[in-house]
Amino acid sequence: MDRTATDREKNRPVRMDTNHVFQFNCSPGVPCFTQCCRDVTIVLTPYDVVRLKNALKINSEEFLDRHTIILPKETRLIPMVVLKMNEDDNKRCPFVSERGCSLYEDRPWSCRMFPLDMNDDGTFSFVDDKSRCKGLFRKETQRISDWLVEQGVPIYDEVNDLFTHVTAPLRAQDLDIDNPKIYQMVFMALYNLDKFRKFVFESSFLDRFVLEDITIEKLKRNDLELLKFSFDWIKFGLLGQKTLVVKTPPEADNENAG
């Protein structure tokens, strides 16, 4: 192997599976405590937004206005939603306190995963600059699978996986949509869930789709159910999947009866 190839090999991030045991412990005793909560790009998923806005007891519109930056992607229907750092406070996350994350139970997926990155093939690597995270030099060890459960990652992975079933086909189909109303509707359904609930219950929506009473009750009260429903609605409307059933208009019923 030539020298460049050896260097490349040395610098290649180690890929770990869920059985891998790694050294890590993050607690107020580490010298870098809360340092990773400043000047960081945290991309929020729709489920992150649900958890955060509920933890803050504000609605999704207020949350998006106050705490996010929305970066449109030129060739993509779904923009990137990023948590806004506090420019007046050394770019610290607005939710960090001296004792750590004030929204710890509801912190975003990427905060739960730090200092690991998930690779496309489902393996894990450490973040680029390991030296910044002193927790990785502690003697305590963790098995990745146990650590993920401890961090509350599985429910995030489950919902994010459903989200990928929306984003991946949209990317693959490369839909040529230039109607801003469609962008707005898709964004509302994914990220502005309280507005989407109003849309479902205060428009003619329920007159158009067959929904069981039990489903309607769940959508009224449960944000996660509503979010999953919004995925189905986008798959129905944009991807042509049979995720919803359209009601038969009354005239058609009469014609059929006659």
- Give, in order, the Cα–Cα distances in Å from 202 to each of 176, 193, 212, 228: 30, 14, 17, 19
Please state, in angstroms and rounded to a whole number, the distance separating the CA atoms of residues 56 and 63.
Answer: 8
Residue 145 three-state SS: helix
Q: How, if at all, do strands 21-23 and 141-143 pair?
A: antiparallel
**101 sits in which H/E element:** strand 100-101
The binding track of 72-101 with respect to ligand SF4, each residue x by CB under 6 A or -, is ---------------------x-xx----x
- Residue 36 touching ligand SF4 (CB under 6 A): yes
Q: What is the largest CA-CA distance in the chain?
A: 84
Q: How far is the CB of 131 from ligand SF4 (least distance, A)?
A: 10
Using CB under 6 A as the binding rule, whether residue 33 contacts ligand SF4 is answered as yes
Question: Three-class SS of residue 43?
Answer: strand
User: Given the complex with ligand SF4, which of 16 and 182 has the nearer CB atom?
Assistant: 16
Q: Which of 53, 67, 107, 197 binds ligand SF4 (CB under 6 A)?
A: 107
Contact between 115 and ligand SF4 per CB under 6 A:
yes
Map the footprint of ligand SF4 across residues 130-169, applying CB under 6 A: 132-135
Contact residues for ligand SF4 (CB under 6 A)?
A: 26, 30, 32-37, 42, 93, 95-96, 101, 103, 107-108, 111, 114-115, 132-135
